[in-house]
Structure 1
Amino acid sequence: MRTLFISWAFLRVLLTLTVVCLLLAGMTQYVIMLNRDVSEATSRGEVEGVVRRGPLVNKVALTINVDWGQELIPALLDSLSRHQAKATFFFTGRFADKFPEYVRKVHEAGHEVGNHGYSHPHPAQIGDAANRQEIRRTHAALEKLTGYAPRWFAPPYGEHDQRLVKIAKEEGYRLILWTVDSADWLKPSPQDWLKRVTAGIGPGALVLMHPTPSTAQALPSLLEYIKEKGWTAVTMTELMAPAQ
């Protein structure tokens, strides 16, 4: 009987070691894929200093760019609240000036507020001074409404180059893009929206969204998916904290 007991104990240890090895192998493969993505990005000449993904932690950042869609913000806030999730809302300055109550609601709900430029121009089509003014005007509007100085800048249309990264940095910002684009502006069905996002999301991912009907309908399912994976939806600042 003693020999049988030792055998079962040995098998349990062996099984535990096997599981650990598989987990390590999976993480190694994930890191290799990330490094490959970075190498491919470099070969495409993508701009340095742009945040596209956070550290490899069990957290994701939901980023919501807002220049319209104020009628859907309450639904987004309700879904986030019910799932105890946080997000970063990137407001344009003109939206903040026109709908200050929504900016305040987002801030008071504990979400982060970010800068999306003032009038949503194409950054590549305006000069340095104009781009700087877009950031500054929005910064002033958001800080006045929330008492908080934003630190993340999401350029309109995702347009960026090294000069815009430099301008943003000089204004106290880091420029962010996304890991996964929900493409909600194409008006996908909630099912297609969810399929697209879950196919690309992972630890440290940045998910780009807007206040659209597709996002409002699919967000609860995404938040359930995130919870099932053992991840947490957090603000940009919380996601990037280990890398600061």
Structure 2
Amino acid sequence: MSQKHVDGDAEMIRGILIEVLGLNVSMITPSPKYKSPDLLIEFAGVRVLTEVERKTDDQQFLNLVNSKKGVTLQYSGARTEERVKNAWRQIRDFPDRRPTDSTLIWLIAGQRDVTILTAGAAIARLYGIETLEGHTEADKYYSKLCYFFYESLLFKYKHLDAVVVHSCDDVSLCLNPYASRYTEWRTYPFLSVFSAVIDPAAEESAGAAFFADCDTDRRNTDQIVEYLRQKYQLRRPTINRFGLVNMPVEP
């Protein structure tokens, strides 16, 4: 992606933050000597270093659309994950970053229809989401998302406070419950302007989701399942994974 395109995205987000949220936002001048984020947001004594990333294509989706009828795809968000990793490095390696600075990545899924799957894949990678289905020990049926079931970016990057997933008109703020400033972020007044605020701990408290808040190696699925069974009094759950099938509508 060209530097001009990147600067344009950062300017666009800066304009949104100033006009809609009334925040003080400045562009960070890039240096050829070191990595740097795009924006510095300041309000009420808080500084938020913000890196803007854009994903404008989705080859997996295009391959499926152009494939023969009946072809299936297990969608992978690996390229989206790489965007987030690169964005975090921009913030992490910034020499003017202060220990008290908050950190935010703003991920834009850039083209309507073409990147229709990007936002969901990004959120799944951020939180390591799986869908679990089954019955509790009390024989009550459930079908819920489980946050941090497998390896996830927000579990790995505990100094990353939040990620905005911006897909056309839908702008979701994903909070990191493992970040040290998580409690403060939940109280920020501008959260109400987002299309959605994803907060796994709040969803768990409301009974809407499971939260695998353990230190178990995420590659050991059996141990994660056993932890969840004990925590929520579950019988052996079923992990539901969904694939895509190219089934064009006949004229």
TM, length-normalised to structure 1: 0.31
Of structures 1 and 2, the one scoring higher in RCO (CA 8 A, sep 6+) is 1
TM, length-normalised to structure 2: 0.30
- Higher radius of gyration, 1 or 2: 1
Normalized per residue, the structure richer in strand is: 2
